[in-house]
Amino acid sequence: MAVGDEGLPRLIALPSDWTPLVLASASPRRRDLLASAGLRPEVAPSDVDESLFPGEDAFAACERLARDKARAAAAPRRRGVVLAGDTIVVLDGEALGKPADRAEAAAMLRRLAGRTHQVASSAALLHVASGQLVSGVDVSDVEFSPLDDARLERYLAGDEWRDKAGAYAIQGEAGDFARLVSGRLDTVIGLSLGLVERLVPRLVAELVA
């Protein structure tokens, strides 16, 4: 069950006519987070280039990508609501994406070691029939312990770093050296349920305006 800002379990309620709810992501982490909040969407990943534009602010890019993914997933549909998200690890204003290989993962983790960085997690809700779209981004701070070569190699020996922004998953083995300093843990995992909950009444308001 989802845990809210107040530390109590919380489910997310959607209007009854928002069906189907479509998750524009193949991420099992986002799917599991939504299930913990009582939401079981259809899964329809969208094919969007996740590259940042030259000079683009990392936090703005995170929200833009969620909006782009929502539009792409909604394009072939006539009804329902699409939920899309994106997660970016930011160090000194620079976005660290998903590593292409083990060497790049090692380089990212060495840069993050012993420092505090930000994790931006965006969400976008798009009402297919009307085209109304709302979005936002939440940011959490994560601190890494120092990583010596032996500790780093032990982590890289597994596959957890694959397909992860910043080359780590705080809910997994990386929890041994990554600590949430401020914000929400679900933001770091890949989808802020609090943000999704805040977007629902915003989209409702757009639909009745």
Q: Count CA atoms within 13 Å of residue 97 on its CB side.
A: 10
- What are the strands, taking DSSP E only, across the chain? 2-3, 9-10, 21-23, 42-43, 81-91, 94-96, 116-127, 133-144, 178-182
Domains of the chain, by residue range, sit at 17-208
Q: Which of 67, 72, 18, 80 is nearest to 45 (CA)?
A: 72
Token look-up 């479509």 returns: 22
Amino acid, single-letter form, for residue 100: A
**Set 5, 68, 86, 159: catalytic member:** 86
Encode burial over 141-163: b for 16+ CB neighbours within 10 A, e otherwise.
Answer: ebebeebeeeebeebbeeebbee
Mapping DSSP to helix (H, G, I), strand (E, B) and coil, where does residue 48 land? coil
Residues in Cβ contact with 204 at an 8 Å cutoff, skipping those fewer than 6 apart: 15
Amino acid, single-letter form, for residue 16: S
pLDDT at 39: 96
pLDDT in single tens digits along all 209 residues of the chain: 344 444 444 789 999 999 999 999 999 999 999 999 999 999 999 989 999 999 999 999 999 999 999 999 999 999 999 999 999 999 999 999 899 999 999 999 999 999 999 999 999 999 999 999 999 999 999 999 999 999 999 999 999 999 999 999 999 999 999 999 999 999 999 999 999 999 999 999 999 98
Q: Count CA atoms within 13 Å of residue 207 on its CB side.
A: 19
User: Regarding beta strands 21-23 and 133-144, do their DSSP bridges make them parallel or antiparallel, or are they unpaired?
Assistant: unpaired
Tokens at 23, concatenated: 């998750």
Active site residue 86: yes
Dihedral angle computed from the Cα positions of residues 65, 69, 71 and 77, in that order, rounded to the nearest 10 degrees: -170
β-strand partners of 91: 94
CATH number assigned to the domain covering 17-208: 3.90.950.10
